[in-house]
């Protein structure tokens, strides 16, 4: 079998369809947005509404609505393998997740919580990390 490849039809590794830069840009655009329980954007968010919105708006990736559903239905990764754009989950246990944020590197995340959409440390004293997941493989 012979397959012809047209060099002008290359797919860029940095295509917006899977680019971390696109995800981060969308997330940062909403810094300061108000927290409202149950809100899914574009001007107010709860934690999982924010992560769902960012992935859908930036790269057309649909993820489940709640933090628990996002954890249950995305590929788990270990703390040692976390990458920018992965999701970080908090709560009492892996079966009792109450919060989610998006990892942005250097031990920080963007999340929507009582202070609104903010950048903060993943390992802040008020959070108990219970797991990590990768909703999609992103290019960097």
- Indicate which residues carry an active-site annotation: 47, 99, 111
CA distance 81 to 34: 31
Which residue in the block uniquely carries the two structure tokens 């295509």? Answer: 15
Q: At what angle do helices 47-59 and 20-29 cross, to 10 degrees?
A: 130
Instruction: Please give the DSSP secondary-structure letter assigned to residue 41.
Output: S
Measured at the CA of 126, the angle between CA 123 and CA 132, to 5 degrees, comes to: 45
């Amino acid at each position: 079998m012979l397959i012809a490849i047209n060099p002008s039809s290359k797919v860029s590794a940095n295509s917006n369809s899977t680019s971390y830069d696109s995800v981060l840009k969308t997330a940062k655009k909403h810094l300061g947005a108000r927290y409202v329980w149950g809100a899914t954007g574009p001007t107010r968010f709860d934690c999982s509404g924010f992560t769902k919105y960012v992935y859908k708006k930036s790269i057309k990736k649909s993820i489940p609505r709640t933090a628990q559903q996002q954890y249950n239905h995305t590929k788990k990764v270990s703390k040692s393998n976390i990458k920018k754009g992965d999701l970080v989950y908090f709560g009492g246990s892996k079966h009792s997740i109450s919060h989610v944020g998006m990892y942005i590197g250097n031990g920080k995340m963007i999340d929507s919580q009582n202070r609104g959409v903010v950048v903060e440390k993943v390992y802040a004293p008020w959070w108990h990390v219970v797991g990590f997941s990768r909703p999609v493989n992103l290019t960097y």
